[in-house]
Amino acid sequence: MDWYPLFNSLRIALISSVIVFFAGIFAAYYIAKLPPLLKGILDVVLTLPLVLPPTVVGYFLLILTGPKRPLGSWVLSTFGVKLVMTWYSGIFAAVVIAFPLMYRTARGAFESFDETLAFSGKTLGLSNTYIFWRIRMPACKQGIMAGAVLAFARALGEYGATSMVAGYTPGRTATISTTVYQLWRTNDDELAFKWVMINIAISAVVLLAVNLLERRQPSRPRTRGVGT
């Protein structure tokens, strides 16, 4: 049994989750402060990949990163790097597909944050950076963790956009999802079922680990921490 699809899927999911984690937090934090009209427009733009068919997202990525398109052609001629039909092409697809989940979840967590804690910290002379990382983020950790887990699980199981920008090449671009489809096409149901169960097992372990972590680290009032 070739284990490359597992390695490649985990690699893509982990890298894209890290990118989505910080990008989603950054976007959620600053967009939550914008006027309602502008915030609504940006919400539509950033959340659109969540409701579009993944193949449509993959089509737009091909238009953007294809070797005969402006961006893809420039990167290829300047750096000699192809942006499509490579293993890291799956990262582009996973980031775009998983980002809305992280963004929406983090934004909801930030909007429910008690701003009086931040105001209290400012009156004590604490910097905005300190308030963000030591007060706001711990208070919003449940939503942040939920978004991170959802983003990882979505990136791990992504198929539609990945199949269009990365394709399926055994030992090079194959992921669990694309491998399951190819095995089904070739009537290898037994091996396809094994990969399905592997994907389910990984997702279940991730969700279980997060649930255990939340139980061991219950949220605590942060009021006293503002003055420290």
* CB of 176 closer than 8 Å to CB of 90: no
At residue 222, the pLDDT reads: 46
* Two tokens, residue 118: 């931040």
pLDDT single digits (tens) 129-153: 888 888 888 888 888 888 888 889 8
At residue 193, the pLDDT reads: 92
* CB of 133 closer than 8 Å to CB of 216: no
Q: What is the 3-state secondary structure (H, E, C) of the chain?
A: CCCHHHHHHHHHHHHHHHHHHHHHHHHHHHHCCCCHHHHHHHHHHHHHHHHCCHHHHHHHHHHHHCCCCHHHHHHHHHHCCCCCCCCCHHHHHHHHHHHHHHHHHHHHHHHCCCHHHHHHHHHCCCCHHHHHHHHHHHHCHHHHHHHHHHHHHHHHHCCHHHHHHCCCCCCCCCCHHHHHHHHHHCCCHHHHHHHHHHHHHHHHHHHHHHHHHHHHCCCCCCHHHHCC
User: How confident is residue 119, by pLDDT bands cut at 50, 70 and 90?
Assistant: confident
pLDDT averaged over every residue in the chain: 86
User: How confident is residue 10, by pLDDT bands cut at 50, 70 and 90?
Assistant: very high
User: How confident is residue 7, by pLDDT bands cut at 50, 70 and 90?
Assistant: very high
User: In sequence order, which residues have a C-beta less than 8 Å from that of residue 109 and are 6 or more positions away?
Assistant: 28, 140, 142, 143, 144, 147
pLDDT single digits (tens) 51-109: 899 999 999 999 998 888 888 888 888 888 888 899 999 999 999 999 999 999 898 88
Alpha-carbon torsion 46, 210, 132, 92, what sign? negative
* CB of 87 closer than 8 Å to CB of 13: no
User: How confident is residue 215, by pLDDT bands cut at 50, 70 and 90?
Assistant: low
pLDDT single digits (tens) 190-209: 999 999 999 889 888 877 87
Q: pTM of the prediction?
A: 0.84
Alpha-carbon torsion 194, 3, 149, 31, what sign? negative
